[in-house]
Amino acid sequence: MHNRLFRTIVLVAMAAALGGVLVAVAGADDSAPLPGMSAPELLARMGDHSRAPAAISGDISWTNDLFGQAAIATGDVGMAAQSPLIASGSGRLWAQEGKVRFESQGQGGDQVLVANAEAGTVWTYDFAGDTAHLYRLEGDGGSSSATGADGDGTGPQAQDSPSPEAPTPERVAGFLQSAARFMNVDVTGQTVVAGREAYVLTMTLAATDTALGKVETAIDGRTFVPLRLDVVAKGYATSTLSFRFDRVSYEPVSDAVFVFTPPEGAKVQRDTIDLKGESQKADKAGAQEASGASRADAMEQVKKLARTALLTRAEAARLVDFPLAWARDYAARDFRWAYVFDKGAPVDALGAPVFDMAKVFGGLGGGGAASDAAGASGASSGDAAGGSSPTTGPMAVQLYGEGFGSIALAQTKTTAEIRDQLKQLPEVADSIDLGGVQAKAVVTPLGSVVVWERDGVTSIAAGMVPRADIVAFVASVR
């Protein structure tokens, strides 16, 4: 059964394990002679997009042992057909000038994703269901006039964000750049991946309160593109998540590759994702300041705007329409700050929107993770049980601890739609007794997510922490 709340929980679990980025694999091959380079130099070269290849394509493979033999990895709850990256598999990737084509073959079934930022369209096709889905992006994130095979017709508001999200090298590089400040980073050798000489970058956690052990990646020694990535859970000898290029090319890609036409007889659905959002005025100011700037400058502008949305617990409590709970008598991680999202936008202490998440991240080239986060907080018209749009109110998010050892607590008033979805959640992997309230949990080697409903409020706690840590945390929330 198509269940948005369950999708949100799984995506939060993966986000908690990956920091919002899809990642991935492999062991070292033969060493290769490259000039010596320090870790800071390698990270800087990898982050210099002005020198990045204009195109990249190749054969890729990935493994995902995050959920083990749980039902969501085998497709028993209908997840795999929507998100083949949740299981292991292989495929092909093409990326060039704002266009991406991703074809996956895995345990969750075969799928195709074709995204065109300039046209403002995203096509997905599921072979098992013989169903194609066109998402047309409206607003600054894409043109609304796309026609033909890449974007014709209109439809109802989007039911979900496009899935799957392509694991592009740019996304992996962004993850590594963000994660580096929380880790000890060293260049630990050289290797060969997909026939390319590469540096091995190893990132180990300084923190002791996280389930993450280390991240190891191979960076192309000439183009500085990430070619493989291993994510290893603490106490494990092999990768929990992994990705690699088995063959890679930097030659130009034909535009025909990025044109998708549904197979004859396929069921075709069309939806519109409105990137304009509810806070056009606030977002317009941010977009104008970011226009013409580099991606790094634009992201810095978003960070400055986000800082104005940092709230104390008392400020957050005044902005929501339910009694705000928190981790009482909990000493393992200090409360840091809170956010409140209303109509998809983080708001300041006076309740004024700071910026629209979907529009800003869409304009910066963000994708599924940001859109799903916005959908979870009511930013878009998602599907509830029975197909109606959810009517969620404000959502409060509290952060405890920092870095990879942090725990996030999200809360919103329980609506009829949310309550129906809670009843439909499968017994995924674990159940926690919270004094008469049964919480459902997704427990993985890299972290956990727990969801429960109490006194008319739905809560979700997530973190890259051991099971014992998340259990102690949720037991203190009241």
Residues 6+ apart with CB under 8 A from 119: 142, 143, 146, 150, 151
Residue 121: strand pairing partners: 116, 136
Tracing tokens 């997009």 back to the chain, one arrives at: 49
Higher pLDDT, 216 or 386: 216
Q: Is the pLDDT of residue 146 over 60?
A: no
Q: Over the stretch 216-274, which tens digit does the pLDDT of each residue have?
A: 999 999 999 999 999 999 989 899 999 999 999 999 999 999 999 999 999 999 988 76
Residues 272, 155: Cα–Cα separation, whole Å: 6
Structure confidence at residue 426 (pLDDT): 62
* Structural contact between residues 23 and 227, judged by C-beta atoms closer than 8 angstroms: no
Count of other CB atoms within 10 angstroms of residue 405: 23
Count of other CB atoms within 10 angstroms of residue 450: 27
- Which pLDDT band holds residue 367 (cuts at 50, 70, 90)? very low
Structure confidence at residue 340 (pLDDT): 94
Q: Over the stretch 292-341, which tens digit does the pLDDT of each residue have?
A: 445 556 666 667 777 888 999 999 999 999 999 999 999 999 999 999 99
Q: Over the stretch 388-431, which tens digit does the pLDDT of each residue have?
A: 344 468 999 999 998 889 999 999 999 988 888 877 766 555 78
Residues 140, 151: Cα–Cα separation, whole Å: 16
Q: Which residues of 95-129 are buried (b: 16+ CB within 10 A; e: fewer)?
A: bbeebbbbbbebebbbbbbbbbbebbbbbbbbbee
Which residue ranges form the domains of the chain, and what is each CATH number? 4-254+260-272 (2.50.20.10), 275-476 (no CATH)
Dihedral sign, CA of 56, 62, 67, 72?
positive
The β-bridge relationship of strands 241-249 and 226-233 is antiparallel
| Average pLDDT score, the chain | 75
Count of other CB atoms within 10 angstroms of residue 431: 11
Q: Looking at residues 37-50, what average pLDDT do you find?
A: 86
pTM of the model: 0.71
Q: What percent of the chain has pLDDT over 70?
A: 65
The identity of residue 335, as a single letter, is: F
Kind plus residue range of the DSSP H or E element containing 100: strand 99-106
List the structure tokens of 469: 């840590």
Q: Looking at residues 69-73, what average pLDDT do you find?
A: 45
Structure confidence at residue 382 (pLDDT): 35
Q: Provide the residue count of the chain.
A: 478
Residues 20, 407: Cα–Cα separation, whole Å: 14
Residue 61: strand pairing partners: 90, 244
- Which pLDDT band holds residue 80 (cuts at 50, 70, 90)? very low
Structure confidence at residue 301 (pLDDT): 67
> What is the CA angle 469-472-476, rounded to 5?
140
